[in-house]
Structure 1
Amino acid sequence: MLERKQLKGRAQVTFVLPEDTPAGPLRLAGDPDHRSPTAHPLQPRGTRTHAPDVSVPTCNSHTFRYLAAGDYWFNDAQADHHDGTNNLIHT
């Protein structure tokens, strides 16, 4: 699930995944962090989910994917669009 909050000239996007989907440490990689799989670890929240907050420019599209243990890359079914490999979010 993607939660969005509009800020002045930027959007704050929270990438939310259930705590056990998939098991193990989770990371977010995409345009906002130049695809660095270490920039945004998904931290457990009290609601049995993982979620980092990322601030991105508005009026733009951004690609992202999730990385789990064992070099397992996966997509977000709730993304605005999929381009074959990546998820896209429009802000």
Structure 2
Amino acid sequence: MIKRSRLFGNQTRVTFCLPRDAPAGTVSVVGSFNGWEPGRHELVARRDGTRTVTVRLPPGSHRFRYLATGGIWLDDESADRVDEQGSLLLL
């Protein structure tokens, strides 16, 4: 799931959210906004049974995927579009 909130100055706060245990292990959101660098935006377990990470993004299109332990790549069906290149956010 993806939550968005507009911020002052044309930025958008985007919260990426997955269930706590699916997939198992560490999960990072990697994408065009962080140089596809694993570990930079790692999802953190929350008391409500989810894992989340929040980033501030400028207007435009942003590609991303989730990378889980063991090299497992996942897309987010709640993105604006999902195709062979992964998930896409249009802000």
- The Cα offsets for residues 27-86 of structure 1, whole Å up to 9 and x where unpaired, read as 11001111111210000011110110010002x110000011101111111111013131
Question: In 1, Cα distance between the equivalents of 2:31 and 2:80?
Answer: 14
TM-score by length of 2: 0.94
Within-5 A mapping of 1:1-91 = 1-8=1-8, 9-58=10-59, 60-91=60-91
The SS at the match of 1:32 is: helix
**Structure 1 runs not aligned, ≥5 long:** none
Question: In 1, Cα distance between the equivalents of 2:87 and 2:17?
Answer: 14
Q: Which amino acid in 1 is paired with 2:30?
A: A
Aligned length: 90
Question: In 2, Cα distance between the equivalents of 1:74 and 1:85?
Answer: 11
CA contact (8 A) 1:24 1:68 kept: yes
Identical positions, percent: 38
CA contact (8 A) 1:32 1:54 kept: no
